[in-house]
Amino acid sequence: MSTAAARPGPRPKHLQARSRLLACIDDGTWAPGVRLPPESELHKHLRVGRQTLLKALDELVREGVIVRRRGSGTYVADRKQPPLIRGRHLRLGLLWKSSVLPERIGAGFFGAMTRGALRAWGLDDTEPDWPAVKHGRPTRGRWNASARGASAECLGEALVHGMLRPPLAAVRSGKFDGVLTLGIVDDAWIEKVLALGLPAVLVDYPGDRFTDRADRVYADALPGYRAAVAHLAKQGARRIHFIGGLVGAPAPYALMTSAELADFRKRHTMLDPDSILRQHAYRVGMQDCGLPVREEWMAQARASGRELEEFAHGLAAQAEDRRPEAVVCFTREQANVLIRVFADRGLKLLGAGATDRTNEASALGIHVDGEKLGETAATLLLARLQQPERPYLRVGVPMKLVLDS
């Protein structure tokens, strides 16, 4: 065989173009996060045809060097912190049960879930954008990290709304690749969201519906509530009552005034679905301790307000042999009120309840880790986008009894 026959031929043009593009990235001409010039300029600069350029860009996308962002352009990826999914720019939605406001990101349960999700997606150090809120329009906040290959938008209801979910039209127009629903338990609305064909993770959703249509992440009450019952029993309590949580029902129509909404919520309540899981955990804890569970020991009450005070006075007024020695409540706030009302009457009451805070209080805290809920859900959503055919999962994040709170 002759030397000429063994000599390799010229490299394909698209690979030559790829090398020149890569050289510009490596020498810092285009730094991580920088948007590349439009294709109409690039192909002239490289003196190659459009199809050759597209092939070169496709190679770099597959290698994770650049990432395409739909409707915006092509960006240099940060290879120290690569795109979530190579070659794609993901548009991710966090759908809130309440209004989205800057101060709520740093505090509160929905803020904690959001922070956990942003951390899992590598967006937690990104400065958010807060669009101006017009009356009656959905509230929102946006995070974008082009080099990370992702942007996220929190979408919530209007400032005075009361529907406990963002409008479906806003979800549809968001053109999300996938969404997390945070604390929303409106099954009819979730059904419509899933009908849009969106991959979704239902977060802080305790129900068993949508088993074969969405991943679900919930606060697993069993470890924390069992431990709470066991601790109260060790303190000598035998009559341990369970108090579930009543919450205001969703508004019947949008844009009620604050006064109208407050009056409606006062007259219309519903049992928080999480109460069912927490009551089951209480029953298991009582059984573990060999204690009886009587139907009259289980009730529901508001989380705060005058109605809870009246309920507490009613419990305290019972005969000594029927009055609770301890309460395990839907929230620690309920338990604190009951303990205070009993104390005002010179009566001792032990208590525990769920909380996402760690501040000191009379009652024991059964901690709900909102950030861990959000982080778990965000990771599940990425797995769903990468493996759309995998089985749907229901994941419980354990609640923990905090004895030093």
Judge whether residue 5 has pLDDT over 60.
no
Judge whether residue 275 has pLDDT over 60.
yes
- Residue ranges of the domains in the chain? 11-76, 90-219+370-397, 221-367
What is the residue type of 120?
A
Residue 402 bridge partners (DSSP): 365
Query: How does pLDDT run across 163-205, given as a tens digit for each residue?
Result: 788 999 999 999 999 999 999 998 999 999 999 999 999 999 9
Q: What mean pLDDT is reported for the chain? A: 89
The gap from C-alpha 31 to its chain's centroid, in whole angstroms, comes to 33
Query: How does pLDDT run across 322-340, given as a tens digit for each residue?
Result: 999 999 999 999 999 999 9
Query: What is the reported pLDDT for 162?
Result: 66
Query: What is the reported pLDDT for 80?
Result: 67
Task: Please report, rounded to a whole number, the percentage of residues in the chain having pLDDT higher than 70.
Answer: 92
Q: Which fold has domain 11-76?
A: Arc Repressor Mutant, subunit A (1.10.10)
Judge whether residue 347 has pLDDT over 60.
yes
Judge whether residue 133 has pLDDT over 60.
yes
What distances in angstroms separate CA 394 from CA 51, 213, 275, 387, one per listed residue? 45, 11, 18, 16
Tell me whether domains 90-219+370-397 and 221-367 share a fold. yes
| Mean local confidence (pLDDT), 262-291 | 89
- pTM comes to 0.78
pLDDT band, very low/low/confident/very high, at 255 (cuts 50, 70, 90): low
Query: What is the reported pLDDT for 1?
Result: 43
Q: Which fold has domain 221-367?
A: Rossmann fold (3.40.50)
Query: What is the reported pLDDT for 43?
Result: 82
Query: What is the reported pLDDT for 257?
Result: 67
Task: Please report, rounded to a whole number, the percentage of residues in the chain having pLDDT higher than 90.
Answer: 57
Query: What is the reported pLDDT for 2?
Result: 46
Q: Give the number of other Cβ atoms within 10 Å of residue 88's Cβ.
A: 18
CATH architecture of 90-219+370-397: 3-Layer(aba) Sandwich (3.40)
Query: What is the reported pLDDT for 180?
Result: 98
Query: What is the reported pLDDT for 405?
Result: 46
Judge whether residue 4 has pLDDT over 60.
no
Give the C-alpha separation, 143 to 146, whole Å: 10
